[in-house]
Chain A
Amino acid sequence: MKDDKKRTFIKLTLAGAGAAALGTVAYMNRDKLNLLDRQYLAQAQTNYSDVPDDPNRHWGFMIDLSKCDGCENLEPFEGDPTGEKPRCTAACRLSHHYMYADPPQYWINVYELKENPIGSPFFFPKPCQNCQDAPCQRVCPTGATFSRQDGTVLINHDICIGCRICMAACPYETRFFWYNDPAEDNATVPEDMVYSPEFPVPHTHGTVIKCDLCIHKVYKGQLPHCVTACPQGAIYFGDINEDAMANGREIVPLKQSLDQFGGYRYKEEEGTETSCFYLPPHLEAASGDSSTLQVRISGRGDTKTVKIEAFHDSGDPIKYGVVRIFRESAFGKACIAEGATDIHGEFVTDLNLLNTDSIEVILQESQTSVGKKVVQYVK
């Protein structure tokens, strides 16, 4: 009985003392906000003198969704225990030494999305969106998640307590947690590697991790691993302030690409000010006038049936192409019908035509004209 009593007493005293200490420490530190993370940062940055921090830079992605094919027609990446195909994910895993993470982590993940019931599904690669008003950073209780001066959001694993509230806050599901001990992965890390948030290996058990935007590479003028690994060149990376995005094959202007293809940022409505721009899936404007467009007009009297059949050179029907029919008359040219081809590349409509009229049919796929034909109706 005596021991039990002692225990209760000790428990109560300890709980009280602990709570008092917590409260006091919190109060005493109220004017030294973020003291700790600054120290660590300074330390981390001296370790990595080749990762400068330039406030004039703003790193970000541009991802062309029409190019990404999810690496569907490739074999699974060799050596990746998950047996997944996307090369960006695999390259990131390999270079950041987290191949064996369990459950597997996806610093860049490729989803197959379908936005509406009619459109076709498309692949959607998603790295950290590098929010400029980052929810993850806002909620972090220790300042482990921080923004560099160049706007890059990183995690300092030396002070992360693994509370995972940042995972709750991130609207993009780009944060992962070291559930298992990363020993197996850390064994693949070179001996002399010194940890820094800019290149967060070796990994720390019980902490949260995410895409680091390969900031350790980009300041050396190199592209992130996922960018160079993409066989389709779908991922572009660059300095948003410079308006230039590169995928390792070409350098394209960001603004113009956005304007041309209707680029957007994912979940713009969240107000997170991300640095990752997506070009929506659009069909490539390659075939031009070479596709075949057949126009047949039949019927008697004023009402004629116009049937249009459209094929690519390959023989595939041109699905959902926009058809516009213009009538040439003495008064000029006017659009008299508009519609879209069906999945067989066909479009049929009834029109009022005079025998002397000639009609012009224009077929568009996306924004590009792929076919044009003028037909004179002869009885």
Chain B
Amino acid sequence: MSNKLQQIEDTIVHPITSTTRNFYFLVLGLLIPIGIGLYGWIVQLRDGLGVTGLSHRIFWGIYISNFIFFIGISYSGTLISAVLRLTNSGWRTPLTRMAEAITVIGIAVGFSMILIDMGRPDRVFLVPVASRLQSPLFWDMLSVSTYLMGSLIYFLLPMIPDMAIMRDRYANVGGLRYRIYRFLSMGWKGTETQKHYMERGISIMSLILIPIAVMCHTVIAFIFAMTWRVGWHSTIFGPYFVVAAIFSGTAAIIVAMAVIRWVYGFQEYITVKHFKNLGMILFVLLALYFYFTVTEYFTTAYRAAVPDMELMTALLFESYAVYFWTFMIFGMIIPGLMIMWVGFRYDDERAVNMLFVASLLVVIGMWIKRYIIIVPALARPFVEQEWTLYNPSWVEVWITLAGFAGFILIFALIVKFFPILSIWELQEEEEHRIEAEKNLYNKYKEKYNTIEPAKPLDPDT
């Protein structure tokens, strides 16, 4: 194996083999909100959902916002990995693993939010048992669990060769860690047949996963769109939610990429070009989401049916205006301008920094957007004359924080135990590059037999 290839492997494996003190601090810091959140959940299970700020009129609150938000975040894997894999975009190689990890974690955390929101989580098995096809919730559970399974497979499948590398590295250490790697590498030897089948598997999974992901978020949108509520019963809710999900998912991956890059010094593999490419995608999605938002609100406002207008007024000018305009300005307009600025001006590290900030703003903005989709539509009086108020209680706030902390913790642990960049794909890419250069060198050698090219580019010596 060439030095270069070995070097790739070593850099990527480095975070796994060595753990800094900061890592333990991070884990500890994350365990605190998780602990409080767990305690909050126990209190909620004991005393009932009365410990939340929910009421008979606003019966869904930030748990449901979190649910949509995390499922949305999970779209990063589907988009970056499946779409870019299918379209054969070469530059996606160092990003796929990370995106796939985010997908799995996002779905898992999102799913736990539904369980937490339920009055009787102990009875959740009744949903598949009863299998009532006419209920949007049945489809919701079916699609989310399918999506989780699919993306778990999609996370583990391209990791098999890397698991084999890890298995071989830990062969003489032994222990549980070795056994796990051995199990996950599934007897990988790197033969041509194995390669062939794995690649087949990956393409099939990326083909399957895209429609599943689209369906999954459409069904989530349908939970709302299929009710009799002003502000929810909208025909564009399906695509609106799907675009929102891809949008926030792309922003999330940029944030994760930047952090991993800084922490582990992967500058060589995750380059400014990757950020600029993703930034471009993010900008297109931002424009699309902006377009959907304007369409949704403008048509409603122009027609100005009384119930619609009550909601619109509260959203744009009254009680929820703070949230709405925060989302609009800090979640859409400013990030949009920042990405444009990056596109025209920056080609160095500043591009990464700015895109990181823009993406963070987008992620926060999209959480707020989910909140103002759920809460005002419930707060608007349906029969009564008064708006209902909703203030999340400490239990809800801490469970939400625990959700975010859990998300980061699982991500950190995955980084700790699995190579976060795909070693074999990067090596393969490197091999192709060397191969191409060799060919070029030979071609030149034939042509100008006597002239020695300036310097052989082949590092394989």
Contact = CB atoms under 8 A, between A and B. Distances in A.
Interface stretch (A12-20, A219-227, A333-341, A350-358): A12-20
A26 B130 CA distance: 8
A206 B223 CA distance: 20
Given A4-B413, A111-B383, A103 B180 contact: no
A214 B167 CA distance: 68
B123 A179 contact: no
B132 A180 contact: no
Contacts of A25: 125, 128-129
A84 interface: no
Interface string A291-310: 00000000000000000000
A23 interface: yes
Given A140-B132, A143-B132, A165-B137, A113 B48 contact: no
B176 A6 contact: yes
B227 interface: yes
A18 B413 CA distance: 21
Interface string B345-388: 00000000000000000000000000000000010001111000
Given A5-B177, A32-B131, A160-B120, A173 B57 contact: yes
A7 B34 CA distance: 15
Interface stretch (A33-41, A52-60, A279-287): A33-41
Counting contact residues on chain B (CB < 8 A from A), the size range is 35 or more
A171 B227 CA distance: 8
A50 interface: no
Contacts of A264: none
A11 interface: yes
Given A6-B176, A139-B136, A23 B142 contact: yes
B118 A161 contact: yes
B149 A16 contact: yes
B130 A35 contact: yes
A163 interface: yes
Contacts of B234: none
A135 B54 CA distance: 22
A161 B119 contact: yes
A33 B133 contact: yes
B186 to A, nearest CB: 15
A142 B59 contact: no
A245 to B, nearest CB: 23
A243 interface: no
A343 interface: no
A9 interface: yes
B50 A180 contact: yes
B459 to A, nearest CB: 35
A294 to B, nearest CB: 39
A142 B149 contact: no
B48 A180 contact: yes
Counting contact residues on chain A (CB < 8 A from B), the size range is 35 or more
Interface in B62-115: 104, 108
B181 to A, nearest CB: 10
Contacts of A15: 108, 148, 152
Residue from A4, A20, A25, A208 having most chain B Cβ neighbours under 10 A: A4
A299 to B, nearest CB: 45
B56 interface: yes
A141 interface: yes
A8 B410 contact: yes
Contacts of B128: 22-23, 25-26, 29
Interface string A164-179: 1101111111011111
B132 A34 contact: yes
Contacts of A11: 410
A159 interface: yes
Contact of A141 (B138, B180, B378, B383): B138
B146 A168 contact: no
Contacts of B125: 22, 25
B59 A177 contact: yes
A111 B385 CA distance: 8
A325 to B, nearest CB: 37
23 contacts: A4-B413, A5-B180, A8-B414, A12-B152, A19-B148, A25-B129, A103-B56, A126-B383, A141-B126, A141-B127, A142-B123, A142-B129, A161-B127, A162-B49, A162-B119, A163-B119, A163-B137, A165-B137, A168-B227, A172-B382, A173-B382, A179-B52, A206-B119
Which 9 pairs, one residue from A and one from B, show the smallest C-beta to C-beta distance?
Answer: A162-B119, A206-B119, A179-B50, A26-B128, A141-B137, A141-B135, A171-B228, A180-B50, A25-B128
Given A4-B413, A168-B229, 11 more contacts: A8-B413, A15-B108, A22-B142, A36-B126, A36-B130, A103-B50, A164-B60, A168-B227, A173-B382, A173-B383, A176-B56
Interface of A: 1-2, 4-9, 11-12, 15-16, 18-20, 22-23, 25-26, 29-30, 32-37, 102-103, 105, 109, 111-114, 126, 135, 138-143, 159-165, 167-173, 175-181, 205-208, 270
